[in-house]
Chain A
Amino acid sequence: MASRILAVMEQRDGALRKVSREVVAAARRLADGSGGTVDALVLAAGPVADADSLGRFGADHVLVATHPDFRLYQPDGFAATIGAAATGYAAIVFAATSTGRDLAPRVAARLKVAYASDVTALAAEDGAVTVTRPVYAGKALQRARLTAEPAVVSVRPNTFPAVESPKAGEAGTVEVPAFATRVTVREIKAPTQAALDVSEAAVVVSGGRGLREPANFRLIEELAAAFGNAAVGASRAVVDAGWRDHGAQVGQTGKTVSPGLYIAVGISGAIQHLAGMRTAKTIVAINKDKDAPIFKTADYGIVGDLFEIVPRLTEEVRRARGAQ
């Protein structure tokens, strides 16, 4: 049976977030298993730039639900809208972001169906959705089957690469039902540091206690800037010391990141740090101690003084990217 999959998009300030294309890519996998279709649902207060491009990334239909209260995240309104639109879908796919993690359980509870969070693999098998998800701080992988319809899942950012596969059918709208506003999101306060979030960036450059003092994080920021699309992360040691915001912390009590490239600078590689970054595709470590545990996990390591190595690396990365 051909199944219909609903992919829930995220936008901010009227622009689609990058992770939304990954959600379409994940939904596509479920749909293709059964010759089904993907509907991408955008919830917003007005027009969303880029929404049309979703067709290029594998959405058969792009549906828009518009409501004046949807300028920022509106948990009750979003959940009511998706809940009402859910009929007939075999699965609903969210991003495992701060919004998706808040919203997906609400939708699943409304529909009285199971929800699998933060999945790193998914498939349609024998008419049901099966998922793989990290548990125990990434120390084990759980495989599970969702036996109720729709199957509600959220996918970990950076694990389902967006693919261009033109599909675009007709655009449509989804009605926003009347909803009781119980929670109001009033504003988004800008962070003090870090423009790009570690959990979403394709490249993460993290610094640890080896940097000796907060001002030296400039070296990390410059290396990140050289990549163009990199976020600055940190070990807990330097977050606890107040050098960086908690939002930058990678690890068991911080964020879990799965970038294409993770560079650990002056970080020893404690098990709790590894819990947050071991699923990065490529890991590079720079540490002066050749026995530092991080070298066991890193694909490539350089032994030496970060104060010499990082500036040189920044320069080379700049040059390499400039030459492209």
Chain B
Amino acid sequence: MKIAVCLKRVADTTSKIVIGADGKSIDEAGLKFVPNPYDEFAVEEALALKEKAGAGETVVYSLGGDSAAETLRTALAMGIDRAVLLKSPGSPDGLAVAQALAAELGTGGYDLILFGKLAVDDYNHQVGGMTAELLGLPCITAVAHLTIDGGVVEAEREIEGGIEVATCSLPAVITCDKGLNNPRLPSLKGIMAAKKKPLETRPAALGDATLEVLGLELPPERQPGRIVGEGVEAVPVLLELLRTEAKVL
């Protein structure tokens, strides 16, 4: 089984966000960057599927600047066989990114292409589904449970008030949600081995963007709240405020 994983380098979600000088992006100074957490589920799934099949190849792709190489090395240290860095300044427009990934993945002969369900920086929630559509491949998104048997995929995805069960056949695109697996940590041996694994770099063919970022702002602070009281005596006070002030009752 030949499996590709798409991995994005993102700011750690515990980071304090500071708006950059351009007013459209974040100030990256001093931030810690990590592999997108949902993409780690994709890496783990690729490794587990190859192990189960007993043969195959796993390849990880990242579109980004030189620093994305470090993120790719993390995936290699986890056990992925080789990496490809698609050099590009990136784009906030998911379609432009999907076009670049599709151009690259289309000729790879992959049985399975794995994505995260969303990147925790831009929250675009779209690149996996778009790439599949551009490639004309079946796609199931936000998958929390996956079985592949004899070329048939069965996947479960959480929907409002239930779990949707969907099937398709390989080759296919799957985007990964929490719950799919528990990503392994790179071992010391893996980290050493990763240094010798192949990491190719080539320019990305980013599509034309039709989404233009006008600005990035911090969300308005919530009005400072108040403690309405202590213990059960405060309950009627709260109810009165919910009725007359907040008007939610």
Residues of A within 8 A of B (CB): 72-73, 75-76, 79, 97-99, 101-102, 104-106, 108-110, 112-118, 130, 133-148, 182-191, 194-197, 199-200, 203, 246-247, 252-253, 260-261, 271-272, 275, 278, 281-285, 290, 295-305, 308-309, 312-313, 316-317, 320-321
**B29 contact set on A, CB distance < 8 A:** none
Tell yes or no: B213 within 8 A of A by CB.
Answer: yes
Pair B212/A145 contact, Cβ less than 8 Å = yes
Asked whether A106 and B130 contact (CB < 8 A) given A283-B225, A312-B232, the answer is: yes
Question: Can you list 10 A-B pairs with a CB-CB distance of less than 8 A?
Answer: A109-B129, A114-B211, A115-B126, A115-B211, A117-B126, A183-B166, A260-B248, A301-B226, A313-B235, A317-B249
A73 to B242, CA, bound (A): 39
Count chain A CB atoms within 10 A of each CB in B15, B131, B141, B178 and give the residue with the most.
B141
Pair B248/A140 contact, Cβ less than 8 Å = no
A102 to chain B, nearest CB (A): 5
A99 to B232, CA, bound (A): 42
Pair A108/B249 contact, Cβ less than 8 Å = no
A142 to B123, CA, bound (A): 10
Pair A98/B158 contact, Cβ less than 8 Å = yes
Pair A145/B98 contact, Cβ less than 8 Å = no
Looking at the complex, which one of B93, B121, B235 makes contact with A309 (CB distance below 8 Å)? B235
Pair B123/A133 contact, Cβ less than 8 Å = yes
Prevailing SS type, chain B contact patch: mixed
B211 to chain A, nearest CB (A): 4
Tell yes or no: B111 within 8 A of A by CB.
Answer: no
Pair B120/A302 contact, Cβ less than 8 Å = no
Q: How many CB-defined contacts (below 8 Å) exist between A and B?
A: 260
Looking at the complex, which one of B19, B167, B229 makes contact with A140 (CB distance below 8 Å)? B19
B100 to chain A, nearest CB (A): 13
Known contacts A98-B158, A316-B239; 9 additional CB pairs below 8 A are: A101-B125, A101-B141, A105-B130, A113-B210, A117-B124, A118-B123, A295-B227, A303-B227, A304-B234
Asked whether A134 and B235 contact (CB < 8 A) given A144-B214, A186-B165, the answer is: no
A235 to chain B, nearest CB (A): 15
Pair A109/B234 contact, Cβ less than 8 Å = no
Asked whether A115 and B161 contact (CB < 8 A) given A134-B219, A135-B121, the answer is: no
